[in-house]
Structure 1
């Protein structure tokens, strides 16, 4: 194989040497024939034809110069409008200014070309040889002006808004003139001067074409060298400040390599112009133009897609106050969506460039069933992701709005808080499962076996985790029946405490000692809720048998009135003092029961406050509250009342004397 390659290389070198030798010999022959050829052009008819051609050229160039600044006032007014526009609409306005500038400049080029071709059709230049030369000049004029128009898109010298590159007006004018001059020189030299010379001197035309290409290439190298550092600094600055730019990840490495890439491209293009057929460099020129348009278009799309990250920051204050978690959710999900879209844009960009440069026929592959299936699957997945994300954000935002106490409907109830929190989790799981199933179906995975397997697994779970299923079902019905709310004080499964959390299968109770009890709903058969609607302080007060019941009840009312004077407790009492009367004649006391109605959960605080007032009142009026103690009596006659025995303390001195 190496021998074959070596033979091919030797053969190519031999052919090149022979072609070069033949060209040199032809060039010498043309130099020897130059005087005779010049004499052939010296007759009057040829001079008149040449003069008419020169007149057409002068007419076209003069019209182009007269129309050069026409329409600049319109572009200036649009640039002023763009500067005064809103900051977020500035780029869109800039695109509008660029479009108008291209339209104006293109219209001027089209007008001059139309006049030139019209004059040519009217016989301003004799046919056929001179008219062909004139047509070649007009084609070169159009292509040169199109190249200048492309340069103006990036370096518009009159309007900052219509300038893609971040340059000031002076630098833009300098580079626009310099690059336009190089473009005109290259186009007119290759498409007009060299073909005209080739009419009489084909070998000399190749020499002229090579000299023009070399001169233009040296000019391009000089321009690249001068612009190397400013462009590098501009790329680094753009990478640092424009964080939403689509091409930001490649700007830093490209900043140090752009001059090498630009120089290599220019050298390759110049070489194709000199040694390759016109179709080669025309293809390269066409592919370069289309690639530039694609890169700019995808860059614009990617940059504006990147601005989606800022939606959470741009929400109106009313929306942020009503839905405080919506910006957080957007800031969490939108960057992931933007990265996904940017990845697809990168793939689209690479596929487009591969197709434009004829590396692979991407468009033909996309027309195949496989390509259409891939595009359809990607589109469907993006649609599913967008709809799922939108549905979740809408559902979560609606639930958040209902739970927000600052909204128009006010503070939601505890039951609504609990159910909405549960529904939010259920909706998230449902969206995830449904979206996942549809996505798997779109990428070609048969979800029938998955659904069947899920059914089998569900059946197995139903048998193997009956307690878990019972927990979930009981929890759902408890919530639907509005039996338990968060922050309620309840007794469930023999445990009393405050409800700290509710899930779909258990509840958390914090008792008075601070211990958190996690109670599965399957263990809950009875729920005693002490904080629903209202509460009662149920008190039973014992008094001695010798006390007057009527006076005791009056003093209880007085204690109630004193308690109501306490502003912290009085506002929590919602009913009068209810005296049920004597409930028991106990061994050592008469028991009187009372009830006081209070707001939910405050019955214990009301009871503590009332107990204190009762104790203070009973002490003040001398009502005895019995407590366990012992009195000793000496027996006497049946009808006599024996007084209690008094035990005198012993005298230590008397006791010592007696001993």
Structure 2
């Protein structure tokens, strides 16, 4: 028992002050005089904390405590301290956070300005330390061995380039260069350069490891990497993309002047960035810390200023590059191309601000991995990425469906959709790469603090919106292609609309249903992903759903007529009662179905009038354009005409037209005679008929009229004309009639004609009334 007590006393000597002082600072003052129950068997014993809590009083209290009391007191206090440490710390206010951020932003600059006078001396100190570490002879050996290693690397690169030169293939000439030939040539050249650089690095490293000591390698390795290998790699990439000396092989749309300018300055930019990383590591390795000179501030600022200067000077060329060579540009594409140089300058400025803030907070270890350079690289690579997307779309896009304006519009819309989808996917990849550069795990950000949760919610919001947009474009792309396919299949008929007299053929059922399906699908996608995006920000969407349900009920009760129209329209479409382009009659209103919506249809009369009819007000619909039409034609010939002769003429005309390439595809049944239809008071009424596709009957009818007239003339057949014959007694004496008698005869004939005209008009009115 004494051994156990001694052990607890030893423990309390170490932890007693920490635990009890933590208790004194976290518990209420009244608790210091509280009687604590023991955890042993004797529950009546209590421990009173001494007041004041001095080391002597603690030792005296522990000396008179039992083992159970010591154990219980120690466990209770350790639990209290653990609970206090696990409790969330009070968050900082917005004002305090902004003040800290502002201080972190300007403090590196002030510190760099304050230490500017020591910059030269500290740099000389670093060089002096470097010289002292190796000595004059050691430096001579270092540079000599480095020269030998570099020469060995260059020799290895030259040998590899000569061996791989036959892989280059035939160089495309300016006259026959295409995208694929230029891309193949540049890719092979780029591969040769990369292979040569790899040989250079391997040979240099092999010779360097053999000649240089580890201390010498600590200088030679970063120098070769940052000052030689990286700039040469950047030059190879720039030659692949810009081809400064071969405009016919250039992959981006930019002229020679700006291509050469960007090529030179991109190499200079990589060289400046490499020098920045090298000198920081050099000073640190030679006893001069980053904070002592703040040279990183000046060099990093120079890099960002250089980037802004490049994009400001070459804004004309960069705008050309973003526009590309595709003639199908939208106004948004032109605006983006014009704004891109200024966006690049803004990226350089914002990245510089972020670096200063992180420097003020002391995140030098993160900044040494150059995430800001990676961010600028990906964000400023936008013209190349966009050019690649448009090039792939232009050469992988399916061919245009059909011909004409409808097919061309659909083709352009399809190309724009593919480009938009490619841009969204590329944007997501860039976001992931930038997040990786800053060591941000986008999946686990939500498990961190408030700021990280906000970042995670923002990233999830962006991802949700981007996913919804891609699905929106894919659905629109599929529906528009199907719609274009259906529309171009009937484009020839839609242009005529029944010869301008109504009754033209309509489109397919998909042509009518697909626009409504597209609108419905787009609306559903926007609503669903809109709610998901709002929910990803941490906002409870349950009230929104409840409000939408209440709104739906209100619409259902307050707009019953609207519901009736919508439901009626659904059943009309299910029954396939009409299609866009068909000629219909609704309650005495006739016209071509020009447009449909979820609650009404628009009819275009063949004289230009437009009628809007809600579906709920359609009692009966007559369709004049469905499947086929039969046209019956009447011809009146004199009584002495041979009907068989007319019948043969009709048969011959029908045979000629069914063989005519201009009309044969429009006939379903040829024109033929139906014989004598009736006799009237003028002559014999002969009737013929034909069956044709809707919309073509009027053109065929006109041609039949012309051919019948010509055949009748050729065969000596006249059309019957209305005549009035007046029988007068003593007509043999007509030459002896006086003027008064002739006037009387003419008046009697006129009265007879007028009587017959009125009779015919009455018969027509009666027939129309019965109809």
Report the TM-score when normalising by structure 1.
Answer: 0.59
Corresponding residue of 1:493: 587
Find 2:603's aligned residue among 492, 505, 508: 508
Give distance in 2, aligned partners of 1:147 and 1:570.
Answer: 78
From the superposition, tell whether residues 509 and 87 of structure 1 become closer, same or farther in structure 2 (CA, over 3 Å).
same
From the superposition, tell whether residues 163 and 234 of structure 1 become closer, same or farther in structure 2 (CA, over 3 Å).
same
Give distance in 1, aligned partners of 2:262 and 2:563.
Answer: 78
3-state SS of the aligned residue for 1:527? strand
Find 1:576's aligned residue among 654, 659, 672: 672
From the superposition, tell whether residues 438 and 291 of structure 1 become closer, same or farther in structure 2 (CA, over 3 Å).
same
From the superposition, tell whether residues 618 and 174 of structure 1 become closer, same or farther in structure 2 (CA, over 3 Å).
closer
Displacement of 1:612 in angstroms is 4.9
Give distance in 2, aligned partners of 1:536 and 1:624.
Answer: 22
Q: Does 1:61 align with 2:146?
A: yes
From the superposition, tell whether residues 425 and 633 of structure 1 become closer, same or farther in structure 2 (CA, over 3 Å).
same
Q: Does 1:597 align with 2:681?
A: no
How do 1:166-315 residues align onto structure 2 when only pairs under 5 Å count?
Answer: 190=283, 235-236=314-315, 238-243=317-322, 249=339, 251=341, 283=365, 286-287=368-369, 289-300=370-381, 303-305=384-386, 307-310=388-391, 313-315=394-396
From the superposition, tell whether residues 143 and 499 of structure 1 become closer, same or farther in structure 2 (CA, over 3 Å).
closer
Displacement of 1:535 in angstroms is 1.7
Corresponding residue of 2:481: 397
Unpaired runs of at least 5, structure 2: 1-102, 126-131, 173-179, 245-258, 325-335, 498-503, 536-540, 743-771
Q: Cα deviation per residue 1:450-504 (whole Å; 9 max; x = unaligned)? A: 662464256347623255236514641553xxx6566655554334556656666
Q: Cα deviation per residue 1:249-279 (whole Å; 9 max; x = unaligned)? A: 56469789999x99x99xx9xxx9xxx9xx9
3-state SS of the aligned residue for 2:507? helix
Mapped contact 2:673–2:689 kept (Cα < 8 A): yes
Give distance in 2, aligned partners of 1:176 and 1:343.
Answer: 24
Give distance in 2, aligned partners of 1:86 and 1:63.
Answer: 40
Give distance in 2, aligned partners of 1:461 and 1:418.
Answer: 36
3-state SS of the aligned residue for 1:114? helix
Mapped contact 2:516–2:597 kept (Cα < 8 A): no
Displacement of 1:144 in angstroms is 1.9
Q: Cα deviation per residue 1:20-42 (whole Å; 9 max; x = unaligned)? A: 9xx99xx9xxxxxxxxxxxxx9x
Corresponding residue of 1:384: 468
Give distance in 1, aligned partners of 2:337 and 2:228.
Answer: 24
Q: Does 1:463 align with 2:560?
A: yes
Report the TM-score when normalising by structure 2.
Answer: 0.52
Find 1:72's aligned residue among 149, 157, 166: 157
Mapped contact 2:401–2:488 kept (Cα < 8 A): no
Q: Does 1:649 align with 2:649?
A: no
Give distance in 2, aligned partners of 1:363 and 1:463.
Answer: 48
Q: Cα deviation per residue 1:182-210 (whole Å; 9 max; x = unaligned)? A: 88995897477x66xxxxxxxxx99xx99
Corresponding residue of 1:435: 525
From the superposition, tell whether residues 463 and 104 of structure 1 become closer, same or farther in structure 2 (CA, over 3 Å).
same
Give distance in 2, aligned partners of 1:217 and 1:372.
Answer: 30
3-state SS of the aligned residue for 2:412? helix
Give distance in 2, aligned partners of 1:182 and 1:50.
Answer: 24
Give distance in 2, aligned partners of 1:519 and 1:244.
Answer: 46
Give distance in 2, aligned partners of 1:170 and 1:626.
Answer: 93
How do 1:539-618 residues align onto structure 2 when only pairs under 5 Å count?
Answer: 539=634, 541=636, 547=639, 551-554=641-644, 556-557=646-647, 560=650, 574-580=670-676, 582=678, 588=681, 592=685, 594-600=687-693, 601-602=697-698, 604-605=701-702, 608-609=705-706, 612=709
Give distance in 2, aligned partners of 1:335 and 1:393.
Answer: 11
Q: Cα deviation per residue 1:96-153 (whole Å; 9 max; x = unaligned)? A: 5675455444434543453357xx5xxxxxxxxxxxxxx5443122222222245524
Give distance in 2, aligned partners of 1:187 and 1:464.
Answer: 76
- Structure number with higher relative contact order (C-alpha < 8 Å, ≥ 6 residues apart): 2
Aligned residues: 542
Displacement of 1:348 in angstroms is 7.1
Mapped contact 1:312–1:328 kept (Cα < 8 A): no
From the superposition, tell whether residues 385 and 503 of structure 1 become closer, same or farther in structure 2 (CA, over 3 Å).
closer
Q: Cα deviation per residue 1:324-383 (whole Å; 9 max; x = unaligned)? A: 344411454466557767877887788788x58xxx999985543834444334323322
Cα RMSD over matched residues?
6.5
Mapped contact 1:67–1:108 kept (Cα < 8 A): yes
Give distance in 2, aligned partners of 1:340 and 1:488.
Answer: 40
Unpaired runs of at least 5, structure 1: 28-40, 42-48, 121-134, 196-204, 653-659
Corresponding residue of 2:41: none
